[in-house]
Amino acid sequence: MYDVAIIGAGIIGTSIARALSRYQLSVVIFDKENDVSMGATKANSAIVHGGFAESHSKVKGGLCYQGRKQFDQLDKELNFGFEKIGSLVLAFEEDQLAELKKLYENGLANGLDDLEMLNHDQIMALEPNVNPDVKYALYCKGAGVCSPYEMAIALAENAVANGVKLILNTEITAIHQTEDGFELVDQTNKNYAAKYVINAGGVSSATVSKMVGIDYFTITPRSGEYILMVRGSGSIINTVLFQMPTKMGKGILVTPTYYGNLLIGPDAVNEDTADKSTHADRLLKIFKEARHTTAKLDIKQFIRSFTGVRAVSSTDDFIIEATPVKGFINCAGIQSPGITSSPAIADRVVNLLKELNCPLEEDPNFNPYRKPIITRKELKPLKEIQPLVDLESSPEKIICRCEQVTEATIIDAMNRGIPVTTIDGIKRRTRAGCGWCQGTFCRPRVAAVMERQLGQPIDPSFDVEHSGVNRVGKNEIVDYIQKNMG
């Protein structure tokens, strides 16, 4: 019997698992996918939010800033990639000033101490490429960007290194109460026993909650499409740029990523299913709206479109609770700012377990540190690295020339306690395939390295051809947007 079972290995599940690995507990984390961070965690804005946009009266309003404050230390320990670059909420109309001031006051109520209202000249000094029609902005100095799927991978690796068991390709389909806790049943009818269960199931969290009879909320998948530009394109701006938020979210943002790409989006469409396809008409609308933030966007720098699916609760708030079913804890409806809030959510869950008399005795052997797989670096000219591209198999051989990822890096990523069985899994850990050619060159080369390590065939096309996701291609979207921009 496990002490604690966690359902879901996204940013919330892995944060909780890592937090619990500090204690002398037997912890297991399940995910139905073949890797961690396969849901909303791998497809989002990658923003570490300030904490001013969420109402002070809501759970997420109290947790966002509390989580944000932990990112510096977490990155020092886990090396997943985080940088404070600040954020601006831009107001282009005089009548938006009142709402901007409300955001400022709400941020103060949430405990922020790094907010400032800026006028036109101050904004232009900070962001010379912003639309010069801007009148006011709310500046949050401590907001930033991170690599969210790398963060979840790092959390999971560290949790596993500290004794947590990770079980992938396993969907929990039923939960039964027992005298000692719970019996969890997977899709193969295999049983697992646990004293406490934590539901971090993302868009499936309402389904998991219903398994124990807690059904007062529903989850609506809300899709948001994004446009990603080539590495280096993010240099046109210095901070995360938001437009004024709406009822559906924080609006279209323009932001550099941690690795220097430019990211634009998302829109917000409530769906019946968690469809992750992208659509030319939605991407065109996103691009047009982003042009209101800055005219410096160049669609020819486009390399990829993608869709994230947020788990929106009918309560319009995070649901983090010890339920009436003793020992069953819900972490549901964790949409934006879920990544930013994740460290604080994990802290809250630990406290809930403590209140439920879960024995939390610290493990003296806990090691909080995890070495990076990759670090941010300047890319060298292709002619300099070509001899390493042409090498026979060796640690120094460059497998991905766009992102200059070596064979040794790929092997390292595959030997950290988590099974990595797909090209996409390598991509999220090493950035092989994240460059201009989007894996056209390196996918078969990555597959060859994986085959040597795993001793089994790897289909280089598997993740693209069998994913069931239809993404708008590079040539199609460039032509479509150029044609319709006038």
Contacts of 76 (CB under 8 A, 6+ apart): none
Same domain flag for 283 and 415:
no
Helix (H, G, I), strand (E, B) or coil at 155: helix
What range does the domain containing 386 cover?
382-455
Q: Is residue 485 part of a domain?
A: no
Same domain flag for 88 and 213:
no
Same domain flag for 335 and 445:
no
Same domain flag for 359 and 395:
no
Same domain flag for 252 and 134:
yes
Task: Please answer whether residues 214 and 323 qualify as being in contact, where contact means their C-beta atoms are separated by less than 8 angstroms.
Answer: yes
Same domain flag for 348 and 440:
no
- Residues marked active site are found at 49
Same domain flag for 162 and 136:
no
pLDDT tens per residue across all 486 residues of the chain:
999 999 999 999 999 999 999 999 999 999 999 999 999 999 999 999 999 999 999 999 999 999 999 999 999 999 999 999 999 999 999 999 999 999 999 999 999 999 999 999 999 999 999 999 999 999 999 999 999 999 999 999 999 999 999 999 999 999 999 999 999 999 999 999 999 999 999 999 999 999 999 999 999 999 999 999 999 999 999 999 999 876 655 679 999 999 999 999 999 888 767 678 899 999 999 999 999 999 999 999 999 999 999 999 999 999 999 999 999 999 999 999 999 999 999 999 999 999 999 999 999 999 999 999 999 999 999 999 999 999 999 999 999 999 999 999 999 999 999 999 999 999 999 999 999 999 999 999 999 999 999 999 998 887 765 567 888 888 999 999 999 986
Measured CA to CA, the distance from residue 384 to residue 391 in angstroms comes to 13
Q: Is residue 480 part of a domain?
A: no
Same domain flag for 164 and 154:
yes
Same domain flag for 368 and 431:
no
Measured CA to CA, the distance from residue 213 to residue 208 in angstroms comes to 9
Helix (H, G, I), strand (E, B) or coil at 299: helix
DSSP letter for each residue of 43-105: SS--EE--S-SS-TTSHHHHHHHHHHTTHHHHHHHH---EEE--EEEEE-SGGGHHHHHHHHH
| Structural domain total, the chain | 3
Task: Please answer whether residues 463 and 439 qualify as being in contact, where contact means their C-beta atoms are separated by less than 8 angstroms.
Answer: no
Same domain flag for 300 and 432:
no
Q: Is residue 51 part of a domain?
A: yes
Same domain flag for 97 and 135:
yes
Query: What CATH number has the domain bearing residue 126?
Result: 3.30.9.10
The closest of 316, 353, 309 to 333, measured between CA atoms, is 316
pTM, entire model: 0.96
Query: What CATH number has the domain bearing residue 70?
Result: 3.50.50.60
Q: Is residue 462 part of a domain?
A: no
Q: Is residue 243 part of a domain?
A: yes
